[in-house]
Amino acid sequence: MGLLDYLTTHAMDEDYQFVSERRQTREEPEPRSRARIGVVGALVMALFAALVVTAAVQTSRNSVSNERQRRELVGQVDQARAQVDGDRSRLVSLTREVRRLQTQQLNNDTTAQGTLDTLRLLGLKAGTVPVRGPGVRVVADDAPGADSARNEVLDSDLQKLVNGLWEAGAEAISINGQRLTNLSTIRLAGGAITVNARSLRRPYVISAIGNKDTLPARFAETSSGQAWLDLQREVGLRLQISPVSSLRIPAAEVSLRYANQKKPGGVS
Amino acid sequence: MIAIIGLVVGVVLGLFLTPDVPLSLEPYLPIAVVAALDAVFGAFRAFLDGIFDDKVFVISFISNVLIAAMIVFLGDKLGVGAQLSTGVVVVLGIRIFSNVAAIRRHIFHA
């Protein structure tokens, strides 16, 4: 007999049958009319009901507390995010204020004019000052219908692209609005390419300031340009370079905590 | 009648006392409920068949609950708790369904 058949035929506990048969054979004087539920049965029913209610209460209580914890965490994340946003915008405004005060102070002093110019030039080079100028806009994207890492833009592809642009004479570069500085990284983290510790989403728009007429041609001549040509041909990545007469590249937030400028005396 | 009174008393007790289940017993509560459900449906069917017996009901109820909880406990210790509780639920579920089918036949004569 199959297990399922056995289960369905023996669904009721056999003891009921057994006890009733035994009672019949013994001809016990108990009334045969109808089996009655006694106090013990009622007690068991009460136990059953209490069990069911307890289980239900417990489950609903657990789900409520889980939900509350989840909501609390979401609230904390939101709060932290708002805090970070606030701090960041405060940082930007303070930096702007510092620059304004610097300009104001140094403008009054004719001898300091040279210092100010040097400062501005250094800022441009270091990427802490926004820049404007002609250049090219490069749009790099995954192959159409990309489904694996093979035909997606990887961090190494972006690194090659940026290297090629520097080599071709770019003077300032940003990727999706993230200015590249000497502290910038382009790396894969958690499935997304991050630049300056910010996750980027495709398509990757790279703005490069430089000679807009020679940049594309010189880029194509570099080994990175060749590599990208191969990528386009072999796996179908998309790359589009277009000259732009005026590009704006934002400043990067660069904060140094350990690197101190050494004073001429050698004491820091 | 007395069974329904017992049921109501149990519900009221459960709702008002809301006994705190110890954390170590919590995983066995649902399986115990399913086992108890099976015992209750079996008893109801026996009642309709006219062969209900208090003593058998008590014993089947308690042994059902204990054995179901024990199987899951054993499974937990062996690392197959989830699979074993699935097995217990399947077996008890089939029993409940066929008992309910028998009860249905009794009540509706169909």
Q: Going residue by residue through chain A (268 aa), what tens digit of pLDDT does each one get?
A: 688 888 878 777 788 888 888 877 876 555 444 457 788 888 888 888 988 888 888 888 888 888 999 999 999 999 999 999 999 999 989 988 988 888 887 777 777 777 778 888 888 888 888 899 999 999 998 888 777 777 888 888 899 999 999 999 899 999 998 999 888 889 888 888 888 888 888 889 999 999 988 988 999 899 999 998 988 888 888 888 999 999 999 888 877 788 876 665 544 4
**Count of residues for chain A?**
268
Residue A268: what pLDDT? 42
Q: Is A133 helix (H, G, I), strand (E, B) or coil?
A: strand
Residue A29: what pLDDT? 55
* pLDDT above 90 as % of chain B: 19
| Residue numbers in A near B61 (CB within 8 A) | 44, 47-48
Q: How far is A40 from chain B (nearest CA, A)?
A: 6
Beta strands in B1-110, from DSSP E residues, in sequence order? none
Hey, are the CB atoms on A44 and B99 less than 8 Å from each other?
no
Q: Which helix (H) or strand (E) holds B106?
A: helix B81-108
Residue B110: what pLDDT? 62
Which residues of chain B carry a pLDDT beneath 70?
110
Residue A12: what pLDDT? 77
Q: In chain B, count of helices (H) and strands (E)?
A: 4, 0
Q: Which residue of B16, B41, B57, B90 to mutate against A (max A Cβ within 10 Å)?
A: B57
Instruction: Spell out the domain ranges in chain A.
Output: 46-108, 131-249
**Count of residues for chain B?**
110
Hey, are the CB atoms on A11 and B99 less than 8 Å from each other?
yes
Q: Which residue of A10, A30, A44 to mutate against B (max B Cβ within 10 Å)?
A: A44
Alpha-carbon gap, residue A4 to A13, rounded angstroms: 16
Q: Assign domain A131-249 to a CATH class.
A: alpha beta
Partner residue opposite A16 with nearest CB, options B36, B52, B58: B52
Residue B13: what pLDDT? 87
ipTM of the complex in this document: 0.85
